[in-house]
């Protein structure tokens, strides 16, 4: 009996009632992965009516805002990101994987899926916001979304959370974007310098010791997460790692789920909070 069956008795049709009281088919539906299925269906059935290139992202990818006309006459705005073949490593699959893990953690990231026919092409939900090109404010950094974004960056070893790789949305909330520079490979992580094993940015600063005179973060420090919250994150990740969606991306993204769980365990070992944040 797996976790879903043990925790959520099923009806004859296989559905179960989740913690919010709604019926779900799988725990992945409960955690929000249904949005990935919706995005894939929209990309598959929609007809592209407009394509507006809006930035040249360094030398790695071309990014466009795309309007899709759906069979029911409605429209859907998405982002297309095409990685250049000569620079392609694991960026496209890594970015899709970071979205998966971000959804499991509960971090504010868009749904991202690989194109069915072109492994260099990503489709993602359009988020109405702007990149601030500045350091995060205290409110942005210390709020729930900022803390979850920092946790995601530590788990996926995201070394590129600069001022152009997160957004301030129209409602004032924040979201992380552009996760092509993640490192989920044990060999490269284990052979890196100690102060490079945990990426330092505005949002990960909660979790790292300060090193005077150095821009990089030191070893992990105590954090104010409740240990039970991080146990819940672990449970969500373990469900994800058993899913077909994760398994399809595992090899092209060079993802090591045991490394991710070890990084989470190290953070949880230093959790000293007394207030629960996750429900």
- Tens-place pLDDT, residues 74-108: 999 999 999 876 555 678 999 999 999 999 888 99
pLDDT at 127 over 60: yes
Q: How many CA atoms, within 13 angstroms, populate the side-chain half-sphere of residue 203?
A: 30
Residue 21's contacts (CB-CB under 8 Å, 6 or more residues apart) are none
Bridge partners, residue 78, by sequence = 66, 125
Q: Residue 10 and residue 1: Cα distance in Å, rounded?
A: 12
For 218-259, the DSSP string reads: -SB--B---HHHHHHHHHHHHHHHTSHHHHHHHTTTT--HHH
What pTM was estimated for this model as a whole? 0.85
- Tens-place pLDDT, residues 241-271: 999 999 999 999 999 999 999 999 999 999 9
Token representation of residue 128? 């109405």
- Tens-place pLDDT, residues 155-208: 999 989 999 999 999 889 999 999 988 998 887 776 666 657 889 999 999 899
């Amino acid at each position: 009996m797996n976790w879903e069956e043990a925790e959520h008795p099923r009806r004859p049709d296989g559905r179960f009632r989740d913690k919010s009281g709604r019926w779900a088919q799988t725990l992945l539906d409960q955690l929000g992965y249904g949005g990935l299925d919706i995005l894939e269906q929209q990309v598959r059935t929609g007809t592209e009516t407009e394509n507006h290139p809006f930035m040249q992202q360094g030398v790695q990818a071309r990014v466009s805002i795309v309007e899709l006309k759906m069979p029911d006459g409605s429209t859907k705005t998405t982002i297309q990101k095409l990685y250049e073949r000569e620079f392609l490593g694991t960026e496209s699959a890594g970015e899709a994987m970071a979205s998966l893990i971000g959804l499991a953690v509960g971090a504010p990231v868009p749904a991202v899926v690989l194109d069915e026919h072109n492994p260099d092409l990503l489709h993602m939900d359009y988020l109405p916001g702007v990149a601030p090109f500045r350091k995060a404010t205290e409110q942005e950094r210390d709020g729930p979304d900022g803390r979850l974004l920092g946790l995601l960056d530590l788990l996926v070893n995201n070394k590129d959370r600069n001022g152009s790789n997160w957004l301030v949305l129209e409602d004032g909330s924040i979201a992380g974007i552009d996760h092509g520079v993640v490192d989920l490979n044990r060999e490269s992580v284990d052979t890196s310098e100690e102060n490079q094993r945990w990426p330092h940015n505005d949002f990960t600063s909660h979790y790292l010791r300060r090193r005077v005179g150095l821009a990089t973060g030191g070893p992990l420090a105590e954090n104010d997460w409740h240990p039970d919250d991080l146990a819940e994150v672990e449970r969500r990740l373990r469900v994800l790692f058993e899913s077909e969606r994760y398994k399809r991306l595992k090899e092209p993204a060079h993802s090591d789920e045991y490394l991710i769980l070890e990084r989470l365990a190290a953070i949880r070992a230093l959790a000293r909070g007394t207030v629960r944040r996750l429900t």
